[in-house]
Amino acid sequence: MLQKIVCIALPGMAPFEFGTICEVFGIDRTDMGGPGFDFTVVAADPGPVPVKHGLQLIVPDDLSAAEDADLIAIPAYLWTGFDDRVLDVIRRAAARGAWVLSVCSGAFYLAEAGILDGKRATTHWMHADKLAERYPAIEVDPDVLFVEQGNIVTGAGTSAGIDAALHIVRKELGAGAANVIARRMVVPPQRDGGQAQYIDSPVPECRTDSFAEVTQWMMEHLQEDLSIEQLARRALMSTRTFARRFRADTGTTPAAWLNRQRIIRAQQLLEESDLGLEQIAQQTGFGSAAVMRHHFVKVLQTSPLAYRRTFGAREGAPVEELQSA
């Protein structure tokens, strides 16, 4: 169970990336039905820790608090050298199976500790070449928001640390807990990007009221075969004008918008209901489990059955699912 979280404050670390770790894990959200963690910030040398922009952070706790943590988080930092004491904490955490999370250039600390050797990892794209050059045993992927390799998660630059942290919350505590945190932070549970299969990828909201009625109607009729001609008629527009204005307003096509909403609704049903895959496919407008599986694999890089096994609230699954997955 994910309960005790320790963030290691490093000299020269970036305040924003440090703050994302504190924001996800350091706020008690039990009043909203979310999690409350035992969160502690530690330092190799307790006291004032210099950070970027000429600031100092006063950290009273030493590294001993990290020895039994369920998750160790390393924020982004300026390369001012590595502290062997911090490296040892990271190695011991990884060895005992605790989660180890890095944000942005924090991946260099994980790399220096040797826990990324032979594994795939990411960091900010500006630092990816340097990470790959300095640590050739690591497969560096600069094109993803985060990478999970066993109990180690590396996040890309800046706000991707939120994506990576929410991924761990969702894997450990479920979609509901991650969604509560995301809503409180006013961020999407997960943006589109690599390894997004475990977190909802939201559809862009309409920026104006032009399509509010139409999109609401689409949401209420996901199970139907909706054509762009039908949607254009409801909007009192020609098909061409509707398609052009819809993309301008939402940033995506009507078909892509509708498909994403169907996926999100299917995710919800897989997590919260006992319905079989064929029933879910019918209710969400995919028509069949095979078609739904195609879209899950294409967009989320996982199958509906695998998704349910990971995030479903129940233990068993109907036989029909095993046959159609």
Which H, E and C letters describe 234-279, residue by residue? HCCCCHHHHHHHHHHHHCCCHHHHHHHHHHHHHHHHHHHCCCCHHH
Residue type, 68: D
Strands 47-51 vs 55-59: parallel, antiparallel or unpaired: antiparallel
Question: What span, in angstroms and rounded, lies between the C-alpha atoms of 278 and 133?
Answer: 49
State both tokens at 66: 């990290």
Cα–Cα distances (Å) from 174 to 92, 177, 302, in that order, read 26, 6, 17
Q: Are 149 and 119 in contact (CB under 8 A)?
A: yes
Catalytic residue among 7, 22, 104, 206: 104
Q: Does 206 qualify as catalytic in the annotation?
A: no
Strands 47-51 vs 4-8: parallel, antiparallel or unpaired: unpaired
Question: What span, in angstroms and rounded, lies between the C-alpha atoms of 155 and 164?
Answer: 5
> What's the angle, vertex CA 312, arms to CA 146 and CA 316, rounded to 5?
135
Provide the annotated active-site residues. Answer: 104
